[in-house]
Amino acid sequence: MSNQIAENSLYDTLVNEFEQTYPEFEKTEQASLLKKRKEAFRLFSENKFPTNKNEEWRFTNLSPFVNETYSLRSKEEIDNETIQKAIDKSRIKNLEAYRLVLVNGIINFEFSEIPSSDKINIQPINEIKNEKGFEKNINKTVDINKFPFAALNTSFFGDGFYIEIKKNFQLDKPIQIVHIYAEKENVFLQPRNIVKVAQGAACEIIEASICISKKIFFVNSFTEIFVGENAHFKHAHFQRGNINERWIVHTQVEQDQNSRYDNYTLTLPKADLVRNNLNVVLDGVNTETHLYGLYLVADKHLVDNHSVVDHRFPNCQSNQLYKGVILDGGKGVFNGKIYVHRAAQKTNAFQQNNNLLFSPNATINSKPQLEIFADDVKCSHGTTVGQFNEESLFYLRSRGVGEESARGMLVNAFAFDVTNKIENEALRNYVEHLIEITIEKAH
């Protein structure tokens, strides 16, 4: 497969579109945001789409996905019946939660059930982007020169969600965010989202996306999260894709002192491409970060998880555990980096990536990394790759367990170290159910 990216496809479309769109931004947006957009597009234009020559994209070939023609704007009007069906499809059994619905990146309040408290603010990004100081939320802790898709999103984003949990407010139940996408032509969309959990606050968000289209969907989303002093934020993201879906999901997290951030990322097969960039900056003393990932890949699909945990202050701890189940024809990538600055003494940092290969045609490329500049730390990392254990399968089958159920049980046992960390019982049961039906369909 060629790694050459033709510059007369999506790249040229984006260049032409920016020339037309920027004058529209000039009519409605404040100068400080315009400046960020212009600089971001300059960086993207210089760097272009990354190729395999870029170490961060060494195992992920983008050329099949960016050498195609896309519309850059949503044009589809989705009827209420379709939206309701998508919401029903996203329901998690026994989960008590508020609901925030976005259709093609735009909040639909009619189908949402949001908390009524004045301690929480939920708004469309398009409404809040001209408020004084908004631009300070944009690219606060990320160097977009290193992330071309983040630069691209900054250049073009139009809408998305803004959620602010105010000081010392403890949300009583999770917010389930349902992203619904539907178009009648190939489309490249770039939603932008911001979550701010203020000092002493706590909340849980569960995200899921549903595409209703036979055309190609390429979503380049960027979410910036700020976790304040003594705040706690739990963040789960379920990625159940379909054929012709491509996802670049960038999540940038900044933590203040004594805060905690928990992330759970579950990716299931079928999407052509899923690339998760999850970067966490521990920007205060005594912060705590827990990242748990589980990915099941099959049928020439590609799931690429890239993470950076950036320790900048003393007495912090991070824990990162990713597990992959690579089915026949699937390809997985894991690249995790722990960075410990000189000032970050007494750091505890752990990173582990374990993979289970179901077939000789399954591929995994794993690269755990440590960069440590402090001397009083406890840091470890590791990776394992193993084959599916036929002896265990035989043992279960000899005791009357059907083959499909036995395989599901063994995969759930492999994933237990991740799923067991999900405190919400309804969510944990949902994940285990998804694993079982995925394994059943794989044979």
Confidence of residue 1 (pLDDT cuts 50, 70, 90): very low
Check pLDDT > 70 for residue 4.
Answer: no
Lowest mean per-residue pLDDT among 7-11, 125-129, 229-233, 343-347: 7-11
Of the listed ranges 86-90, 226-230, 305-309, the least confidently predicted one is 86-90
How much is the pLDDT for 9? 84
**Please, which pLDDT band fits residue 404 given cuts at 50, 70 and 90?**
confident
Domain residues of the chain, as ranges?
Answer: 305-387, 400-442
pLDDT band at 443 (very low <50, low <70, confident <90, very high): low
**pTM for the model:** 0.95
Residue 398: is its pLDDT beyond 70? Answer: yes
pLDDT tens-digit series, residues 35-64 = 999 999 999 999 999 999 999 999 999 999
% of the chain exceeding 90 in pLDDT? 81
Mean pLDDT of 160-183: 96
pLDDT at 8: 53
The confidence score (pLDDT) of residue 421 equals: 95
The 3-class SS string of the chain reads: CCCCCCCCCHHHHHHHHHHHHHHHHHHHCCHHHHHHHHHHHHHHHHHCCCCCCCHHHCCCCCHHHHCCCCECCCCCCCCHHHHHHHHHHHCCCCCCCEEEEEECCEECHHHCECCCCCCEEEEEHHHHCCCCCHHHHCCCCCCHHHCHHHHHHHHHCCCCEEEEECCCCECCCCEEEEEEECCCCCEEECCEEEEEECCCCEEEEEEEEEECCCCCEEEEEEEEEEECCCCEEEEEEEEECCCCEEEEEEEEEEECCCCEEEEEEEEECCCCEEEEEEEEEECCCCCEEEEEEEEEECCCCEEEEEEEEEECCCCCEEEEEEEEEECCCCEEEEEEEEEECCCCCCCEEEEEEEEEECCCCCEEEEEEEEEECCCCCEEEEEEEEEECCHHHHHHHHHCCCCHHHHHHHHHHHHHHHHHCCCCCHHHHHHHHHHHHHHHHHCC
